[in-house]
Amino acid sequence: MDGLIQILIDSTDTTIVDIMAWVALSLILFEMINIFTKDKFYSSIEHSRKAQPLLGALLGSTPGCSGPIIVTNLYNKNKVTFGTLCASFIATFGDASFVYLANDWLFFMQLLVISLIVGIIMGYLLDFTPWGKRLQIWLKKGEKGKAHQNAIEKEIKEITPEYFLILDRYIMPLIFFTLILFIFPETIYLVSGHVDGNGIIITDLWGAGFEKYIEIVKWVVIAMVIIFIFYYFFRKYYFKRYSDYRLRENQTKERDSGKGQVCVIAKHQYRSLKGEMYEVYYDSFVDSMFIMIWVFVGVLIFTFLYDPFKDGWNKFFMLGGGSISVLIGVFIGMIPGCGPQIAFANIFFQSNGAISKSAVVANSINQDGDAEFPLMTTNKKTFYVMALLNSIPALIVGFAFLPWYG
The DSSP string of 273-337 is HHHHHHHHHHHHHHHHHHHHHHHHHHHHHHHHHHGGGHHHHHHHHTS-STHHHHHHHHHHHTSSS
- Sign of the Cα pseudo-torsion (358, 404, 60, 55, in order): negative
- Sign of the Cα pseudo-torsion (146, 148, 150, 154, in order): negative
334 within domain boundaries: no
Q: Would you give per-residue pLDDT tens digits along the chain (406 residues)?
A: 567 777 787 778 877 877 778 778 877 887 788 788 877 888 888 888 889 999 999 988 887 777 888 888 888 888 899 999 999 999 988 777 877 876 788 888 999 999 999 999 999 999 999 998 899 888 877 554 444 444 433 444 455 567 777 888 889 999 999 999 998 888 777 766 555 555 555 655 566 677 788 888 889 999 999 999 999 888 877 765 554 444 444 444 443 444 433 333 333 344 566 677 777 788 888 878 887 887 787 778 777 777 777 777 667 666 655 678 888 889 888 887 777 787 788 778 766 666 788 889 999 999 887 778 778 877 888 888 998 999 999 999 999 988 876 5
344 within domain boundaries: no
286 within domain boundaries: yes
234 within domain boundaries: yes
320 within domain boundaries: no
Neighbours of 106 (CB within 10 A): 8
CA end-to-end distance (rounded Å), the chain: 43
In the 8-state DSSP scheme, what is residue 49? G
Name 156's bridge partners. 263
342: CB partners within 8 A, 6+ apart: 14, 18, 95, 96, 99
CA atoms in the 13 A half-sphere facing the CB of 309 = 9
262 within domain boundaries: yes
Number of domains, the chain: 1
- Sign of the Cα pseudo-torsion (115, 136, 328, 395, in order): negative
How far is CA 318 from each of CA 99, 104, 314, 351, 401, rounded to the nearest angstrom? 19, 20, 6, 7, 18
d(CA 120, CA 115): 9
pTM over 0.75: no
170 within domain boundaries: yes
144 within domain boundaries: no
267: CB partners within 8 A, 6+ apart: none
Residue closest to 139 by CA, chosen among 70, 192, 188, 86: 86
- Asked if residue 47 lies in contact with residue 252, where contact means CB atoms within 8 angstroms, the answer is no
* Backbone Cα Rg of the chain: 22
d(CA 222, CA 363): 31
Which residues span the domain enclosing 188?
162-298
